[in-house]
Structure 1
Amino acid sequence: MPPKNEPDTSEPKNTAEGGVAAVDRAFSILSVFDADRGSLPLAEISRRTGLYKSTILRLMSSLERAGFVRRLADGQYAVGHEPLRLAQIYQASFRLRDAILPMLEALTEESGETSSFYVIENDSRVVLFRVEPKRAVRFSIHEGDRFPLHAGASGKVLRAFGPRAEQAVQEVRERCWAASYGERDPETASVSVPVFAFGQELKGALTVSGPAERVTRDQVPVLCQMLLKRAAQATSLLGGDNRALLEALGASQASNHGH
């Protein structure tokens, strides 16, 4: 029987002690921390992971020594400094910063809204880079934020051009852009386009997001043209073929002039 007040979970008898099993448990502990709650007590970590407190304490000692977690004065636990170092290496490993950041800065300057670059990670979309405008009311996100892949304009783009292209977003693939209105947040709207590298490998989704009262349906064609222009430039810098993006830009401009 588990100790009193600890979750009634039983680990498989064939799970090896140490090795991969311990690493899996350590990662499960790290995964329970989120932006909404920066620190957690032991009991809450136990509840979220389903692990015994005694197991968590043993793993916490190793995680703390390695800098992945830190224990606060009140006894709660928070993420340590090491994930930030790894995040910086992760960003650098893409070799995208030099190509993408100037595009984001230009987009935010042109649109007055938050621009960001999302990548696929498992079944989520993750903010790799972002630039926010200097205005009081804006859509605010942070690098490293993780959102569902099934919602939002960037999610549609990543699903349309990613390794498992979905038929449900075929229209996005054909026109090279996607828009969303309040799909994840009812007060936010966004427009997104793909960026490619050599061999037409999808590198991520270039996105502009803002309050729904500013990013209206009437604004979508203008934002779409801004995004397609910058995505074509970024794709060229990364060695990709930007012809589809330029064709989409031309179609968007022609449609806008037609109206």
Structure 2
Amino acid sequence: MAQDRVEAVERALTILDVFDAPQERFTLADLASATGFYKSTLLRLLGSLERYDYVQRGSDGRYQLGHSPVRLARRHPPGRQLAAWIQPALDALAEHSGETAALLEVAAGRAECLLVAMPGVALRHELRPGEHWLLGDPRSPALDFAGGIMVCQALDTVLESRALWLSLSGPAGRLQPPEAAARLNAAVGDLTRSPASRQVAAPEAR
């Protein structure tokens, strides 16, 4: 109904709809062309969207999606199915390796920790869901941190629509990359063969 409409909200949502496209980063002129809004109007709306991390503005002035849409998307039932499928594997990895195990997602040049399991030892890598960092290497989301190492293995054989990785991280003197890689490869294989993988993949593919 017309009386239920809030024009500023609808304009902000119109801007967000532009990002549902193969192109990931947009200039102000691109957004003006796509929405039909004046640049002055766009700047005000983008300022609010940026404050709440729905969009991010790069050093070159181009805009891309922020982390809030991803965070909210994880509240959708497929996100809970993904957690129910992956978390037991992370718990097992942390218990058997003695290191921090995590599920990472890569998007827009950043890696974000979605799920984590930490070992019951004092000296460990303290990683929390929601932590994110810029990619240092486009081939891997591994975090470079002082005194430690992270080893990653892609989970792209299951959910092609999302760039998901498993990781093990811990003190550099204790975590051995070949052993960590072998454990991660085995975990990815187990997850891929699990019936739960098909239950998670089906909703994600919609």
Q: Are 1:27 and 2:62 an aligned pair?
A: no
User: 1:35-184, aligned counterparts within 5 Å?
Assistant: 86=72, 89=75, 92-93=78-79, 95-151=81-137, 156-157=139-140, 184=144
Q: 2:39 aligns with which of 1, 12, 15?
A: 15
Rounded to whole Å, the distance in 1 between the matches of 2:139 and 2:126 is 20
TM-aligned CA deviation for residue 123 of structure 1: 1.1
TM-aligned CA deviation for residue 23 of structure 1: 3.5
Rounded to whole Å, the distance in 2 between the matches of 1:200 and 1:92 is 14
Deviations 1:129-168 (A, max 9, x none): 11111111110111011111224xxx6346xxxxxxxxxx
TM-aligned CA deviation for residue 199 of structure 1: 7.3
Deviations 1:6-60 (A, max 9, x none): xxxxx99x4243xx544421122234xxxxxxxxxxxxxxxxxxxxxxxxxxxxx
User: 1:227-246, aligned counterparts within 5 Å?
Assistant: 227-237=184-194, 238-239=197-198
CA contact (8 A) 2:99 2:169 kept: yes
Q: 1:191 aligns with which of 122, 146, 151?
A: 151
Unaligned segments of structure 1, at least 5 residues: 1-10, 32-81, 159-179, 240-259
Cα 1:224–1:197 change in 2 (3 A) is closer
Identity within the alignment, % = 22
Q: Please state whether the residue corresponding to 1:28 is helix, strand or coil.
A: helix
Bigger Rg, structure 1 or 2: 1
TM-aligned CA deviation for residue 103 of structure 1: 0.8
CA contact (8 A) 2:101 2:168 kept: yes
TM-score with structure 2 setting the length: 0.60
CA contact (8 A) 1:91 1:128 kept: no
Rounded to whole Å, the distance in 2 between the matches of 1:116 and 1:199 is 17
CA contact (8 A) 2:73 2:79 kept: no
Unaligned segments of structure 2, at least 5 residues: 1-27, 30-37, 54-67, 199-206
TM-score with structure 1 setting the length: 0.49
Rounded to whole Å, the distance in 2 between the matches of 1:196 and 1:123 is 17
CA contact (8 A) 1:91 1:97 kept: no
User: 1:194-205, aligned counterparts within 5 Å?
Assistant: 194-198=154-158, 203-205=163-165
Deviations 1:75-128 (A, max 9, x none): xxxxxxx99x83751685373112210110000001101000111121101101
Rounded to whole Å, the distance in 2 between the matches of 1:233 and 1:120 is 22
Q: Which residue matches 2:172?
A: 212
Q: Which residue matches 1:75?
A: none
Misfit runs of 4+, over 6 Å: none
